Amino acid sequence: MTAGLALDGATMPRPLAHLANLDLNLLVALRELLRERSVTRAAERLGVTQPAASAALSRLRRHFGDELLVRDRGEYTLTALGAQLAEQVGAVCDAAERLFAATADWEPATSEREFTLVMADYTIVVMGEVLSQAIARAAPRARLHIRLVRESLSAEYAEGIRFIDGLVAPSTHGFALPDTRSAELFRDRWVCLADARNPALDAGRLRLEDLARLP
């Protein structure tokens, strides 16, 4: 994609001018407020006072024209817009952290970067411990954030893959995106366990039609 871009104040495109006027600290505040659904707990996670967190919530409400958090039976619940933003703000914050953590030379031994991987629960069982140990040896100060993948793999991450560092998925999903690289990590061999007294084993092997008849 190619485009001309003027950066002087008179000709700056409106969306960029709007972004330039935002306090991006509110992005992290939004994430914690929607995640914790509590001004007090969000303040603790942000390392600020409760009045400061309340002020951030007020500014966010004015910006979005929505309450975001509303009291219901003594607890805060998310509005419809708040729930929508909660699904997006984590990925945006992760992407921003990776952007500003980028350096020309990456030193694993001293890096404090957080890496985000999307994996299925089964994949975590197979390689999660080995992966954690490898990272601990090579980059002891780095952090690993695992997101569990759901069934709708392609639909869910086709747009959001740019906000994560890697995706571990079976090749049978047919998951392919432009401008992405892939590598085979491991292969599984499937086996059937059956009672030796099962009459279906008389032939010495299980055929597909045999399996279809079994409970």
184 inside domain: no
CA distances from 199 to 67, 156, 195 (A): 65, 45, 9
- Rounded percentage of the chain residues whose pLDDT exceeds 90: 20
| 7 within a domain of the structure (yes/no) | no
Distance CA 110, CA 112 (A): 7
CA distances 173 to 131, 140, 151, 161, 206, Å, are 22, 33, 10, 15, 26
**Does the pLDDT at position 15 exceed 60?**
no
Last residue of a domain, one of 45, 73, 96: 96
Contact 154, 175 (CB under 8 A): yes
Do 38 and 109 share a domain, yes or no? no
User: Residue 8 domain-assigned?
Assistant: no
3-state SS class at 32: helix
Comparing CA positions, the residue from 193, 195, 172 lying closest to residue 184 is 172
**61 pLDDT tier (thresholds 50, 70, 90):** very high
Residue type (1 letter), 202: D
Residue 145 forms part of a structural domain? yes
**Residue 146 belongs to some domain of the structure:** yes
CATH number for the domain spanning 159: value is 3.40.190.10
7 pLDDT band, cuts 50/70/90, is very low
58, 89, 39, 146: CA torsion to nearest 10: -170
The SS3 assignment for 131 reads: helix
Q: CA 91 to CA 35: how far, in whole Å?
A: 13
- Counting the structural domains of the chain, the total is 2
- What pTM does this model have? 0.48
150: containing domain: 105-173
Answer with the one of 96, 124, 144 that is the final residue of a domain. 96
Smallest Cα–Cα separation from 150: which of 120, 187, 179? 120
In a domain, 155, yes or no: yes
Please give the Cα distance from 132 to 79 (Å, whole number).
37
For residue 213, being part of any structural domain is answered with: no
pLDDT of 40 over the 60 cut = yes
Q: What angle do CA 154, 82, 114 make, to 5 degrees?
A: 55
The mean-pLDDT minimum among 36-45, 50-59, 163-172 falls in 163-172
144 and 126 share one domain = yes
- Looking at the structure, tell me whether residues 85 and 136 fall in a common domain: no
Q: Is the model's pLDDT at 185 over the cut of 60?
A: yes
Terminal Cα distance for the chain, rounded: 56
Average pLDDT, the chain: 77
Same domain membership, residue 110 and residue 66: no
Is residue 130 one of the residues assigned to a domain?
yes
21 & 77 share domain:
yes
| Same structural domain, 91 and 26 | yes
CATH number of the CATH domain containing 53: 1.10.10.10
